[in-house]
Structure 1
């Protein structure tokens, strides 16, 4: 499909939906024509024809340099982040940057209520957000507040974990709430405990991902689970409190296996404890 003189959509050798960009790449082209490799400046591999349609529509709407900014940010993220990013990041980030820069010209920038959580729980993604602000200032001449680094980071969290925006926001909030329960019950500040705290946060991230995806662990090895419960009764009691809170606020019933794993990680974050 010819989108305009500089953009077209097609399929690659693996029959994947792709969008190609390049100066004059679509000029006087018809469906079925071959595309010269030396004309291709950028290639976007998307998951479906629907995504190609959304991306094509977005390309038609926004300034070309905004798309280039988005591509540069994503390229940087792919270099520094180990996890695969969903191709939908090209749509969500490009749309976000377009909307963000439109808002900035109107003075309509807002504080991110999850700034501290995003910066703490998703450090790699937040660094990409900071790099994005550098690129935006360099390329568009617009200096944005640090809150926007967190907002951009959230799009990369979504692209990594394949969750929607609402679930990602809820997961981030839930992680902070779980930490608050643990801090209150143990009488400690987890952000001062280094590696074990980092591991606990990582566990909570994957726990939240499984929960909102409806894929919570549910092992039937009751003997093993009961052994851990008996070994760490205080920690399991805290994981029960977390589970009750999660069920009350988010409506998910937490299986025993998930509660046992939470108890093990709660044990590990306590000072001077080896397990």
Structure 2
């Protein structure tokens, strides 16, 4: 491979025969090198394949500002998350996560750790991604020597969720806020706390998560046949009453009219939650 661009002594970019740009990293990789020189294969430590030109440019700019060890660690975190979650991520995860962790370390050094108000909700809605976030914190401590607070595990998880769904973090936050509001309605309606570790509550949260996705993408689900919902309402009046409160909230806040089939499934999930 021949050097196309020198980013710093440790990072260069090269082009493959098909025109794909690679970002190549290694300690002293570009030392005493110039554009057009061949790379020393034995110095190559990491190779990033970024097909999106803008993402590649952003990543190269970021690599001028962050330690090579951090960028290398993020690559390891992403690759292990790919295996653990069995999901592919948008390549912008390398930019977003490297930038986030770099800034989090800087804040931590200055004593400005932030509180993550959505930590509980993230743990409940996205437990697998949250585990990846916790493992990332352990790797940061082991490799870089910084013990970041637990709140950062939730924030790292959100970046992976964002990369999975190819959405903006703000949209992921909207979904999390939506679920949080619905759970509050349920708690007040039944005048009780919900067991966050129970299977039925977990199923209900999963249902709400995908329900929120449909609302934000303006996708309607099912028919408006009232038969099943009417039958369920008569059998479980308390759950049906709570589902109507949720419906009123959703119509008021999001302008989304629930179909009878959506109300039917919502009532079923509420009844399961209360059966515990």
Q: Is the 8 A contact 1:10 1:18 kept in 2?
A: yes
Give 5+ residue unaligned stretches, structure 1: none
Residue 217 and residue 97 in structure 1: after superposition, are their counterparts in 2 closer, same or farther (change >3 A)? same
TM-score (norm 1): 0.82
Rounded to whole Å, the distance in 2 between the matches of 1:262 and 1:3 is 56
Partner of 1:8: 13
TM-score (norm 2): 0.82
Kindly tell me the number of residue pairs found equivalent between the two proteins.
Answer: 264
Give 5+ residue unaligned stretches, structure 2: none
Rounded to whole Å, the distance in 1 between the matches of 2:268 and 2:22 is 45
Return the match for 2:111 from 91, 94, 107: 107
- CA displacement at 1:83 relative to structure 2: 2.9
- CA displacement at 1:22 relative to structure 2: 4.2
Rounded to whole Å, the distance in 1 between the matches of 2:16 and 2:220 is 38
Residue 65 (structure 1) aligned with residue 69 (structure 2):
yes
Residue 227 (structure 1) aligned with residue 227 (structure 2):
yes
Q: For 1:1-275, list aligned pairs within 5 A.
A: 1-4=4-7, 6-8=11-13, 10=15, 18-22=22-26, 24=29, 27-30=33-36, 41-46=45-50, 48-191=52-195, 194-212=198-216, 214-219=217-222, 221-223=223-225, 226-233=226-233, 234=237, 235-249=239-253, 251-256=254-259, 257-271=261-275
CA deviation string 1:15-58 (max 9, x = no partner)? 7665333453794444xx99887775333343521111111111
SS in 2 for 1:19: strand
SS in 1 for 2:159: helix
Q: Is the 8 A contact 2:22 2:47 kept in 1?
A: yes
Rounded to whole Å, the distance in 1 between the matches of 2:50 and 2:262 is 34
Residue 244 and residue 19 in structure 1: after superposition, are their counterparts in 2 closer, same or farther (change >3 A)? farther
Tell me which moved more, 110-119 or 40-49: 40-49
Residue 146 and residue 59 in structure 1: after superposition, are their counterparts in 2 closer, same or farther (change >3 A)? same
Measured on the aligned residues, the alpha-carbon RMSD in Å equals 2.9
Residue 35 and residue 141 in structure 1: after superposition, are their counterparts in 2 closer, same or farther (change >3 A)? closer
Tell me which moved more, 37-46 or 79-88: 37-46
